[in-house]
Chains A and B, each alone.
Chain A
Amino acid sequence: MLVCRSPKAVVGLLILATIAAAATMAPHLAPYPVTEMHPSDRFAPPGGKYALGTDFFGRDLLSRVLFGYRTSLLVAVMSVGFALVCGSALGMSAGYIGGALDTTLMRAMDILFAFPVLLLAITIVVVLGAGTLTTVLAIGIVYVPIFARIARAPTLVVREHAYVEAARALGQRTLRVIARHVLPNISTPIFVQATINLATAILFESALSFLGLGTQPPYPSLGLMVSEGRNYIELSPWPTVFPGLAIVLAVLSFNLVGDALQEILDPRLRQTWVSS
């Protein structure tokens, strides 16, 4: 496995696996119920009863970070999954069928691309109403054109290959040809793009939650925790510091894996350390 030879990929995957395991096991690992308030322990510093301290309401930060990870990862995976499925289907259809369908679909994608991404996501959230599912849809819709473009370009090449023509000549239906012969041959760039987008999706989700347009209180989201903590940052920085660090760690792990995958697939990005 080439991935295992890349230190970046190994480190990224290790962090990611730890975060994913912690998020999955959050109900068992969290020392306190996530919304439980301890008024006498407001703004407790890290250590002692509370490993990462407490927030304004005396809620345990470690428990909230663990559950916040659940929200972040869930939204990131679902939104990128949505974009991957819809975008790839549109891109492959446009590239394989071509003609008017290609022109119409890709111009529609161009229009979506014309909007600044965060602004488009915010507008979608305003239209649909704030909430976790809406955040998934908003981020997913914003990412659809990226996957459509990534899928379309190699489809144009693959559809001319002899094995695709042979499949067509055998009378296989378009959908079957796309699923059986085109998709497996264009999946690598789509997969790499998905890894990169998972990182930005976490940033997106946290930014929307920070603005009050994502996950709604009292359920924890890392962005929302930073937003709430910021109001009392002079009294105690920990409710702002730890959720932020948690976001950085998750995004960094996806970026490390995505970067390593890109280097493996495009060796030109690697420096050659032969004396020159």
Chain B
Amino acid sequence: MQRYLAQRLLLLIPVLFVISLLVFSLMHLIPGDPAQAILGFENTDPAQLAAVRRDLGLDRPVYVQYARWLGRLLTGNLGTSVRTGRPITTLVAEALPFTIELAVYSIALAVLIGIPAGTLAGTTSSRWADAGMQTLTLLGLSLPAFWVGAMFILLFSVYLRWFPVLTYTALLDAPLANLRGFFLPALTLAIPNAAAIARMVRASLVSVRREEYVKVARAKGLSEWRVVRAHMLKNALIPVVTLIGIVAGYLLGGAIVVEQVFAIPGVGRLGLQAIVQRDYPVLQAVVLVVTALFVLVNLLVDLIYVFLDPRIRYA
């Protein structure tokens, strides 16, 4: 296990290196001159343009620019926003807690909804209950988050006034108000993931219900609930952990749309603002940070998987 862990961690280095190279290259492919964008398009003074390019290091060869950027990156310095002049590390550090809270909250809701729903569909003896649950989960997978979010705001915030409109407090300052404020965005993000989890649980339960060990458990006279909980679900939930990992990674990137709908000042919104303002160093940092987190979450899930399923042996 330790060897596997070391191998996986070592493998992270080239992966992150290639990702950084790709992100840097992509940002340099964006048409337009960053120096011109900073100065404003009405200012065409060549001397000023040259000065800004020199300040940003844009007059150097691309590989030198990359090496300098990578060097700064290794010291935790993501550069400076060309729009606000603020350090990007600070901007990301301010936005990241919102995105992470949204992701964790929505995963919790997705699990709370998805596992019972999947268990019901996978163990019910009613064809209609199963068909109904399957239709509902397919519907859940078909809902665009930005539309669901808008509908939730309209229904629960504007008409019914059950939830505040676009106001967020810090989790540690007012935990209940914070959870209430984040409920609708988290639920919006949770719906397709709850549907995916429910489908996975159902498929797993359907595939194990005729296994020998389940028949033995029933033959021993265990109650149906005990058979499901102690024997079927235990094995059926292992692939769900992988799915939750994939979902967690997706949420880090996919939260962009929900952050935009609910005006949450998270990393996704920071990235979108950077696109609108042509603040490409910020966009570069956002893409890099989110992708690195995505890779790390996937690694973490793989490791949890090894702990959960002793049948898996990594040579």
Contacts and interface: CB of A to CB of B under 8 A. Distances in A.
B224 to A, nearest CB: 10
Interface in B27-78: 29-31
A40 to B, nearest CB: 26
Residue among B15, B134, B146 with max Cβ neighbours from chain A (10 Å):
B146
A170 B139 CA distance: 51
A215 interface: no
B26 interface: yes
A268 B211 CA distance: 12
CB-CB nearest 7 A-B residue pairs: A116-B253, A244-B147, A251-B142, A252-B142, A119-B253, A210-B146, A127-B29
Nearest to A258: B138
A119 B272 CA distance: 10
Contact of B150 (A119, A127, A230): A230
B231 interface: no
Interface string A43-76: 0000000000000000000000000000000000
Interface residues of B, number: 49
Contacts of A199: 141-142
Interface stretch (A77-85, A156-164, A234-242): A234-242
Interface residues of A, number: 48
A267 B23 CA distance: 42
Interface string A237-276: 1001101100110011001100100000000111101011
B289 to A, nearest CB: 10
A271 B130 contact: yes
Contacts of A251: 141-144
Nearest to B28: A127
A211 B260 contact: yes
Nearest to B294: A116
B291 A241 contact: no
A22 B307 CA distance: 52
A189 B72 CA distance: 45
A176 to B, nearest CB: 35
Nearest to A12: B138
A247 B143 CA distance: 8
Contacts of A226: 144, 146-147, 150
B256 A273 contact: no
Nearest to A226: B147
Given A210-B257, A244-B150, A255 B142 contact: yes
Contacts of A137: none
Interface in B250-269: 250, 252-254, 256-257, 260-261
Interface stretch (B109-117, B176-184, B202-210): B202-210
Given A114-B15, A252-B139, A237 B145 contact: no
B272 A211 contact: yes
Contacts, number: 133
Given A127-B26, A271-B127, A211 B290 contact: no
Interface of B: 15, 18-19, 22-23, 26, 29-31, 125, 127, 130, 134, 138-139, 141-147, 150-151, 153-154, 158, 203, 206-207, 209, 249-250, 252-254, 256-257, 260-261, 271-272, 275, 283, 287, 290-291, 294-295
B15 A117 contact: no
Residue among A110, A119, A243 with max Cβ neighbours from chain B (10 Å):
A119
Contacts of B26: 123-124, 127
Contacts of A117: 250, 253-254
Interface in A105-138: 110-111, 114-120, 122-124, 126-127, 129
Contacts of A206: 144, 146
A123 B31 CA distance: 12
A223 interface: yes
B283 A126 contact: yes
A269 B203 contact: yes
Contacts of B252: 116
A259 B294 contact: no
A227 interface: yes
Contacts of A30: none
Residue among A115, A230, A243, A247 with max Cβ neighbours from chain B (10 Å):
A115
A166 interface: no
A26 B261 CA distance: 30
Nearest to A229: B150
Contacts of A119: 253, 256, 271, 287, 290-291
Given A240-B151, A271-B127, 4 more contacts: A111-B18, A116-B250, A247-B147, A248-B144
Contact of A271 (B141, B142, B206): B206
Contacts of B139: 248, 252
